[in-house]
């Protein structure tokens, strides 16, 4: 997580009164928009999800990626990066533990705070490795949603 620089989130304050932005406006705001473009392209390719632009007072406008009547992830815009919040299925630990050595430092730092009560996982995306970790986390949520659909 980034420090107090987010206390004044420029995206949030600029968007509070603004009309609903489109994806291009999200891209134009971010200095690392190429990671967001790649992330969305990967999610579209693998899951053909519904991508919604939503508003919540706490975050301002954000992107919600949904499939199988559930949320795959939420993409929250910060001053100079974005973070991705994924639901954290109970079985995730068994998939993630063996992968820890190849995951990014950001992932390892966030994963150190995971407990049995963890219901969602937020990760900042500022590098390609972090983006790849997020794609893997989303795949675990997609697996859970697919299995829930079958029941």
pLDDT-derived band at 130 (thresholds 50, 70, 90) equals very high
Residue 4 has pLDDT above 60, yes or no: no
Mean pLDDT of 109-117: 91
Fold of 4-150: Yope Regulator; Chain: A, (3.30.1460)
Nearest-angstrom CA–CA distance, 7 and 27:
21
Share of the chain above pLDDT 90, in %: 61
pLDDT in tens, 48-80: 999 999 988 887 889 999 997 899 999 999 888
Residue 42 has pLDDT above 90, yes or no: yes
**pLDDT the model gives residue 64:** 95
Contact at 8 Å (CB) between 85 and 78?
no
Name 65's Cβ contacts closer than 8 Å, sequence gap at least 6: 40, 43, 47, 49, 50, 51, 52, 71, 72, 73, 74, 75, 138
Predicted TM-score (pTM) of the model is 0.85
Q: Which residue has the tokens 């675990």?
A: 140
Sketch the domain layout of the chain as residue ranges.
4-150
Closest to 82 measured CA to CA, from 11, 137, 142: 11
């Amino acid at each position: 997580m980034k420090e107090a620089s987010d206390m004044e989130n420029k995206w949030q304050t600029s968007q509070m009164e603004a009309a609903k932005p489109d994806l291009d406006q999200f891209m134009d705001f971010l200095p690392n928009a190429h990671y967001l473009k790649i992330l969305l392209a990967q999610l579209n390719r693998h899951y053909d999800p519904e991508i919604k632009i939503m508003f919540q007072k706490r975050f301002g406008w954000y992107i919600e990626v949904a499939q199988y009547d559930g949320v795959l992830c939420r993409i929250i815009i910060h001053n100079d990066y974005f973070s991705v919040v994924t639901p954290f299925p109970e079985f995730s630990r068994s998939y993630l533990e063996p992968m820890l050595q190849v995951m990014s430092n950001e992932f390892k730092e966030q994963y150190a705070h995971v407990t049995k009560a963890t219901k969602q996982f937020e990760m900042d995306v500022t590098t390609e490795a972090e983006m790849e970790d997020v794609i893997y986390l989303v795949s675990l949520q997609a697996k859970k949603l697919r299995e829930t659909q079958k029941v």
